[in-house]
Amino acid sequence: GENVEQHPSTLSVQEGDSAVIKCTYSDSASNYFPWYKQELGKRPQLIIDIRSNVGEKKDQRIAVTLNKTAKHFSLHITETQPEDSAVYFCAASPPGGKLIFGQGTELSVKP
Amino acid sequence: DGGITQSPKYLFRKEGQNVTLSCEQNLNHDAMYWYRQDPGQGLRLIYYSQIVNDFQKGDIAEGYSVSREKKESFPLTVTSAQKNPTAFYLCASSIGVARDRNTEAFFGQGTRLTVV
């Protein structure tokens, strides 16, 4: 079945710097790759997603890239702000509806 | 007010007892999921259901059971066979995989289960 590995587990950056979180997946049939942000004590919420027919997607300060050949995808956050501090999860979804998450990255943005 | 609701928010269970966590959605979603969240281990899939009266095991189904008798409801029972049940449990729903197109999952607020 699908397995998703996420790195790093913790990431600390200065406000204004960029942050990059990387994920790899095992099932080449996976075709949907969402990213979720979970603030302390709250539910995970979708911030951006990408489908397998697209290599890159951008939404303001966040972007996601997908390399199907290498089976990895990454989240890029530019001009980080303290409110970006949270736990970020990547996920992969093969046909059939399973949604498998990575282990999470705790991002800390220091003012 | 549309959404996905989990209850209760906090739950305490004695060892050896079964306990059922509730998950209800009024989003008209076909797909529903149960995840367990432990520190440093991300969200691990327990069970998922793509349609009423059908569900599939996830990666950590042992010691858990579910039912999907109604589209709106997907209760999770933590049985006495689950050796380490203390965790944060999250339910989610999505439109489903119509035309093989997976979509955004919406999460409930979670239930924190503690075995005492």
Q: Is A30 helix (H, G, I), strand (E, B) or coil?
A: coil
User: How would you classify the pairing of strands B10-13 and A86-92?
Assistant: unpaired
Q: Is B64 helix (H, G, I), strand (E, B) or coil?
A: strand
Distance from C-alpha of A41 to C-alpha of B110, rounded to nearest angstrom: 9
Question: Would you place residue B98 in the very low, low, confident or very high pLDDT band (cuts 50, 70, 90)?
Answer: low
pLDDT of residue A98: 86
Cβ-defined contact of B96 to A97 (cutoff 8 Å): yes
pLDDT of residue B100: 55
The residue-averaged pLDDT of A92-109 equals 92
Pair of tokens at residue B76: 């999770």
pLDDT of residue B8: 93
Cβ-defined contact of A44 to B43 (cutoff 8 Å): yes
Pair of tokens at residue A105: 């990255």
Q: Is the dihedral of CA B29, A33, B43, B57 positive or negative?
A: positive
Cβ-defined contact of A101 to B42 (cutoff 8 Å): yes
Question: Would you place residue B1 in the very low, low, confident or very high pLDDT band (cuts 50, 70, 90)?
Answer: low
Cβ-defined contact of A32 to B102 (cutoff 8 Å): yes
Distance from C-alpha of B36 to C-alpha of A21, rounded to nearest angstrom: 22
* Cis geometry, peptide bond prior to residue A34 (ω within 30 degrees of 0): no
In the block, which residue shows the tokens 């095991």? B57
Closest residue of chain A to B110, computed from CA coordinates: A43
Q: For chain A, what's the residue count?
A: 111
- Cβ B43 vs Cβ B97: under 8 Å: no
Tell me which chain B residues have a C-beta less than 8 angstroms from the C-beta of A104.
40, 42-43
Question: Would you place residue A77 in the very low, low, confident or very high pLDDT band (cuts 50, 70, 90)?
Answer: very high
- Cβ A17 vs Cβ A77: under 8 Å: no
CA dihedral B26, A39, B110, A51 (to 10 degrees): 50
The residue-averaged pLDDT of B58-83 equals 95
In the block, which residue shows the tokens 């439109």? B95
Tell me the nearest-neighbour CA distance from A96 into chain B, angstroms. Answer: 7
List all residues of chain A from 46 to 105 with a beta carbon under 8 Å from chain B: 46, 49, 89, 91, 93, 95-104
Distance from C-alpha of B29 to C-alpha of A46, rounded to nearest angstrom: 16
